[in-house]
Structure 1
C-alpha cells in the first residue's frame, strides 16, 4: 500500500472515524484460508474488491447492531503476508483483528507470535481473535490445547472454511467486539497521529511558502 492510498476512495481511512464504519483486519501466513473464510461468511453475494496495486482485497459487509446500521470493511492481505510483515497503513484505524492459522501446518501456528507482536506494535488495544482453520480435515484437533490464545487471553475459534463450521459465529462476534471497542475506547495511537498531524501541518505549509518565495523569477 503506497503512501498516496488515501487518493483512492476505498482506501480513504478517514471514513473509519464515522460511528457506523468499522475496519477489521486479517492476519496469518499464506494459504491458511483467510480469503476462503471471508468468502464463506459472505457466501450470499459477496463482492471482493481487489486493489492489486496495494496488495489488498476489501470485503464489504452491511449489518445491524442494536438497531443501528453498521458498515464493515474486512481487509485481507492479498499476498503481502508472504513477506512476514505488513505495511503500517494496513493496521491504521483497525477496530479488530482476525488472526488465522492452519491446524494442518504447525509453522503457521508458531508464526502467530510474530503476527501478534507486529499487531500490538501498531494497535496495542484492539480486540483480536485467534482462528484455527481447516478442522474438517481432522476434527480431533479441536481436542488439542493451543496455548497461544490462552496465554494472550484471546478468544479461540475452531472453524472450517470448507464446510462453514463456526464461521458465521466467529465473524459476527468479532464485529460486535469491533463495535464495542470503537464505542468505548479512545485509541492512544490514533490520538498520537492526530496530534502529530495537527502539529506538523503548519510547519509544512510554512516551509512550502518560504521555499516558493525564494524561488527566482523566470
Structure 2
C-alpha cells in the first residue's frame, strides 16, 4: 500500500532522526545553576523542538576544576554558565573554555550569565569574555525563567547545524560512519523481509 502523501521513507526518517539527535554539555563552576537551568527549560518549553536533546550536566565533577574526557566525547554544543553574584565563577570561564577547546575545538559554544533576578542592574554591565571569544552571550535566570527557553532553543539549533555540517574532520568521519550504519541496518532489514516472503507459502 502506498504511503501517505508527504510521508518520509523509513531510511530517510531514521537519518533525519539521527541528524536531530544532539549532545549538549554544560560547563561552569559548582553551584552556578547549570542543573536548575536545564530543569527550568524542560519545565517552560511549551513547544519542544523536533531535535532529540541529550543534555549533560557535570554531576559535581566541576569541583575538581576539570572534567573527564568522556564528558566531551561527541558533544555538539556547549553552554558555559557563571553566577553574576560570584566574580570567581566568571573568571574561571577562561579555564573551562580552554579545556573545552582541547577536546572539542570546533563545536559551537555560548556564555550564560545566570541569577540576574538577584540584581537586574547587572544586565547593564559589560562581560567581555564572550565578546573576546566571539561567543553568543545571554543574561538568564533559572529562578524566574528569563531568556532560558530562548537560550536553549538557539543552542539546540546551533548543535543540529553543527552535527549536519561539522567543521572538525573527526566529526565528519563519525557522521559518515553513523549514516553508513543506518543504511546497513536498513539493507539488512530489507534482506530479512525478502527472506520471510520467500519462505511464506502462497495462499490458494
Q: Deviations over 1:178-199 (max 9, x none)?
A: 01111112523446889xxxxx
Structure with the largest fraction of strand? 1
TM-score (norm 1): 0.68
TM-score (norm 2): 0.73
Q: Deviations over 1:36-80 (max 9, x none)?
A: 0011111169xxxxxxxxxxxxxxxx943xxxx321100001100
Structure with the largest fraction of helix? 2
Q: Deviations over 1:60-104 (max 9, x none)?
A: xx943xxxx321100001100000000111001100000000000
Higher gyration radius (CA)? 2
Deviation at 1:21, TM superposition (A): 1.0
| Long gaps (5+) in structure 2 | 1-16, 176-204
> What are the within-5 Å matches in structure 2 for residues 108-147 of structure 1?
108-147=89-128
| TM-aligned CA distance change 1:38 to 1:162, over 3 Å | same
Q: Provide the residue aligned with 1:148 in structure 2.
A: 129
Q: Secondary structure at the match of 1:165?
A: coil
| Long gaps (5+) in structure 1 | 1-16, 46-61, 195-218
Higher relative contact order (Cα pairs below 8 Å, separated by 6+ residues) = 2
Q: Provide the residue aligned with 1:96 in structure 2.
A: 77
